[in-house]
């Protein structure tokens, strides 16, 4: 049974069975009612993440978690990473080098480039807010069939709010401890019987229980929709988001573990910054020819600019100590106030640009006794990135135990070091067929072909030398599944899927990987999904195996990269979402992950002294993780419904590196919510980390290791008005 308060030292109404085309048509006609759920329900009706169109979850032969707007509002989950706490099996990584913004691991594998927006790749490195989202869908297991490169552990799809024909307006305002201020607006206005416009916006100034850290952000998301309910429909939408934050790179490691210092202490410079401009434009055309044939085309253009200058301080080691930046090395056991830390500024400018076009033909037809729901589509796109890195000198030193943050020292110089440009071109074609074989058996089968060509040009500024790499990878991805539905509330399945990870997955290519082909991944899953209590409660369970073959390994002797490694993650998960009673709602789950480096060359030393990592667990992959969030309607007081509830989130111990020599401890966090709800007016109080537990949230192995403490107890009051 889960408890609350673990600190650093702890140990460890039924949806119809629509065909895919019919479902897509229904969604366009009435995107709210089609889900078969009422406002405020945690249980989703359908999801688009597993079939390219809205499909009942029990017809998707993979594990799927949907976090809808009702859950986001009840938890006051304002950003993507907060929302993903509802998905056991997801862990967070801190920023590293060029990896900034949202960094998550899913089922043991990084999913940083596996985040999507309305089904289109959302590759840029920025911090995502939830103000414009209707839901977040998490599809687990290799999923290259629909999503292309990556997706080893799964994909995360953000579903945005759409204009509708019902006028609705809402405004929220939040105020909380540690300088928490936030407001949102959501305005939907019909323009005619078949057109509507919608505007979502937010602004926030949010402090932290950590010293210095701050976030000042705002965003706009306008959208316009024509032809609602007609055969031809067109939607255009945009996202404009601006962030001006002081980033948190967490606490340094000392002598193989996180330094035993105050969790509130900020190890950086007080004038550090993380400024981002994110601009996204999406256009979608839906054409329904009849009840059995439809065409959809979506174009997404994304342009982001990031200026980041975090200054993590790390403990001096022999590897870190150079003649140009001398740094005294302290032996293990040295008192922390006598241990020296030195600045290692991560100063960079990053520009990302993406243009993708997706075309899908959705057809429903019969061949003899079999009913088919076919998706035939293609994707063409280009990603461009430019990363400019800078070095600062001299490096600053301070005491680990008595660190005092301050501004950048006078006389510090900034010098350009590298300027790397990358271009990645994607061309893909795919087909997926969902076949009703008998009243109780369905089959899903699909295949995709990808051609991915990447070009990287890196300039070393000091010498003027350029290093150019180019490679082209082709890959075929498949998915197959058999679904057994003996009655309308039971769905059992077995499935198989594959994915691939090219060396230039993040667009740029390193010298070590320029001649290395894609990693290959395959997944086997066996599961059951149950819709109980008149379809108001869904339970699911699944056992799975993810096998990464041709995994990249680095020979420590020759420093070459080869595709001769193998990684496996075996596990199972259970989940529940929906209404247990008319008054009680839940969303929760448990995931067990048994990860193993089956075959690897990683290690240190040579000859007989060489260390093998074979048999070790994957970093940042806890064996056990669980979450449970509930709300309960107590009754009516002064004309409003009183709701109370809370959440418990548990993450087991995690290793920091593949060497498995360092780990962070398990933690349990508890949240609380109380609300007074009226048809046009809400009052809600959220208490995050109710017991003020000291825990480590995000970890990273680089720079001798870092870990970001979770936010301390935070109380937020929110007023919502609908008119």
Query: What are the residue ranges spanned by the domains of the chain?
Result: 20-722
pLDDT by residue (tens digit) across 636-655? Answer: 999 899 999 999 999 999 99
Residues facing 684 on adjacent strands: 675, 718
**Which is higher by pLDDT, 607 or 315?**
315
What residue ranges in 621-666 does DSSP mark as E strands? 624-637, 640-651, 654-655, 663-664
Return the pLDDT at 10. Answer: 36
Q: What is the pTM of this model?
A: 0.90
**473-to-103, 189, 453 alpha-carbon distances in Å:** 25, 47, 6
State yes or no: pLDDT of 601 exceeds 70: no
**Which is higher by pLDDT, 317 or 186?**
186
State yes or no: pLDDT of 607 exceeds 80: no
Nearest to 518 by CA among 151, 155, 52, 102: 151
What DSSP designation does 656 have? Answer: S
State yes or no: pLDDT of 35 exceeds 60: no
| Whole-number Å distance between alpha carbons of 194 and 667 | 51
| Whole-number Å distance between alpha carbons of 721 and 723 | 7
Residues with Cβ within 8 Å of residue 475, at least 6 apart in sequence: 144, 149, 449, 450, 452, 500, 502, 518
Rounded to an integer, the average pLDDT of 540-569 is 81
Return the pLDDT at 93. Answer: 78
- Residues listed for the chain: 723
β-bridge pairing 115-117 and 154-160: parallel
Residues with Cβ within 8 Å of residue 608, at least 6 apart in sequence: none
Give residue 123's pLDDT band: very low, low, confident or very high (50, 70, 90). confident
Return the pLDDT at 559. Answer: 61
| Whole-number Å distance between alpha carbons of 172 and 186 | 9
Return the pLDDT at 437. Answer: 97
pLDDT by residue (tens digit) across 330-384? Answer: 999 999 999 999 998 989 999 999 999 999 999 999 999 999 999 999 999 999 9
Domain range 20-722, its CATH number among 3.40.50.720, 2.40.170.20, 2.60.120.1130, 3.50.7.10:
2.40.170.20
Nearest to 306 by CA among 350, 273, 347: 350
β-bridge pairing 313-315 and 340-343: antiparallel
Rounded to an integer, the average pLDDT of 463-477 is 94
CA angle 298/301/305 to nearest 5° reads 155
What the block records as the tokens of 23 is 């479902």
| Whole-number Å distance between alpha carbons of 77 and 137 | 15
β-bridge pairing 120-121 and 115-117: antiparallel
Q: Which of 280-289, 424-433, 549-558 has the lowest mean pLDDT?
A: 549-558
Residue the block writes with tokens 């008319």: 582
Give residue 1's pLDDT band: very low, low, confident or very high (50, 70, 90). very low
**Which is higher by pLDDT, 27 or 568?**
568
Rounded to an integer, the average pLDDT of 224-242 is 97
| Whole-number Å distance between alpha carbons of 51 and 20 | 8
| Phi-psi map region of 480: left, alpha, beta (phi>0 left; psi -120 to 50 alpha) | beta
């Amino acid at each position: 049974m889960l408890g609350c308060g673990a600190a650093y030292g702890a140990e460890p109404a039924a949806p119809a069975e629509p065909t895919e085309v019919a479902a897509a048509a229904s969604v366009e006609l009435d995107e709210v009612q089609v889900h078969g759920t009422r406002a405020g329900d945690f249980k989703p009706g359908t999801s688009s993440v597993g079939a390219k169109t809205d499909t009942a979850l029990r017809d998707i032969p993979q594990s799927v978690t949907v976090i809808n707007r009702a859950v986001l509002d009840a938890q006051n989950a304002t950003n993507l990473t907060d929302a993903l706490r509802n998905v056991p099996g997801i862990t967070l990584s801190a920023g590293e080098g060029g990896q900034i913004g949202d960094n998550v691991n899913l089922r043991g594998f990084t999913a940083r480039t596996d985040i999507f927006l309305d089904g289109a790749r959302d590759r840029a490195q920025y911090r995502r807010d939830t103000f414009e989202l209707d839901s977040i869908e998490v599809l687990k297991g290799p999923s290259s069939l629909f999503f292309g490169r990556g997706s080893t552990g799964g994909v995360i799809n953000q579903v945005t709010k759409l204009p509708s024909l019902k006028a609705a307006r809402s405004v929220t305002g939040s105020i909380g401890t540690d300088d928490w201020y936030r407001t949102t607006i959501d305005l939907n206005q019909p323009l005619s019987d078949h057109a509507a416009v919608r505007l979502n916006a937010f602004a926030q100034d949010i402090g932290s229980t950590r010293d210095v850290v701050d976030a000042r952000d705002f965003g706009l998301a306008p959208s316009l929709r024509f032809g609602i309910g007609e055969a031809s429909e067109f939607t255009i939408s945009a996202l404009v988001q601006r962030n001006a934050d002081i980033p948190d790179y967490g606490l340094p490691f000392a002598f193989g573990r996180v330094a035993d210092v105050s969790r509130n202490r900020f190890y950086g410079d007080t004038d550090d910054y993380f400024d981002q401009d994110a601009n996204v434009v999406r256009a979608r055309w839906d054409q329904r020819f009849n009840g059995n044939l439809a065409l959809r085309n979506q174009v997404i253009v994304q342009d982001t600019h990031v200026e980041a200058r975090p200054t993590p301080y790390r403990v001096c080691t022999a590897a870190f100590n150079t003649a140009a930046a001398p740094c005294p090395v302290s032996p293990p056991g040295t008192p922390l106030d006598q241990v020296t830390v030195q600045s290692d500024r991560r100063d960079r400018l990053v520009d990302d640009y993406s243009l993708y076009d997706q075309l899908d033909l959705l057809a429903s037809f019969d061949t003899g006794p079999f009913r088919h729901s076919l998706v035939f589509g293609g994707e063409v796109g280009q990603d461009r990135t430019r990363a400019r890195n800078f070095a600062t000198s001299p490096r600053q030193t301070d005491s680990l135990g008595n660190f005092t943050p301050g501004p950048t020292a006078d006389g510090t110089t900034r010098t350009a070091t590298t300027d790397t440009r990358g271009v990645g071109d994607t061309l893909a074609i795919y087909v997926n067929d969902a076949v009703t074989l008998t009243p109780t058996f369905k089959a899903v089968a699909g295949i995709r072909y990808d051609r991915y060509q990447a070009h990287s040009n890196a300039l070393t500024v000091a010498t003027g030398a350029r290093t150019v790499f180019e490679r082209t990878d082709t890959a075929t991805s498949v998915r197959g599944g058999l679904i057994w539905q003996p009655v309308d509330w039971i769905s059992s399945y077995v499935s198989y899927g594959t994915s691939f990870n090219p060396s230039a997955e993040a667009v740029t290519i390193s010298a070590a990987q320029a001649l290395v082909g894609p990693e290959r991944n395959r997944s086997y899953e066996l599961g059951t999904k149950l819709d109980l209590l008149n379809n108001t409660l869904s339970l699911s369970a699944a056992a799975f195996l993810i096998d990464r073959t041709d995994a990249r390994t680095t020979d420590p002797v020759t420093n070459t990269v080869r595709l001769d490694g193998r990684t496996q993650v075996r596990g199972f998960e259970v989940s529940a979402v929906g209404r247990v009673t008319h008054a009680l709602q839940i969303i929760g789950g448990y995931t067990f992950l048994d990860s193993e480096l089956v075959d690897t060359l990683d290690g240190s030393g040579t000859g007989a002294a060489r260390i093998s990592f074979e048999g070790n667990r994957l970093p940042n992959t806890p064996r056990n993780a669980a979450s449970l969030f509930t709300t309960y309607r107590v009754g009516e007081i002064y004309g409003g419904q009183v709701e109370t509830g809370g959440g418990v989130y548990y993450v087991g111990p995690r290793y920091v590196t593949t060497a498995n020599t360092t780990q962070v401890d398990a933690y349990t966090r508890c949240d609380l919510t109380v609300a007074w709800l009226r048809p046009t007016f809400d009052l809600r109080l959220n208490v995050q980390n109710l017991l003020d537990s000291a825990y480590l949230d995000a970890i990273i192995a680089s720079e001798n290791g870092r870990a970001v403490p979770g936010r301390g107890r935070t109380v937020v009051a929110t007023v919502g008005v609908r008119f």
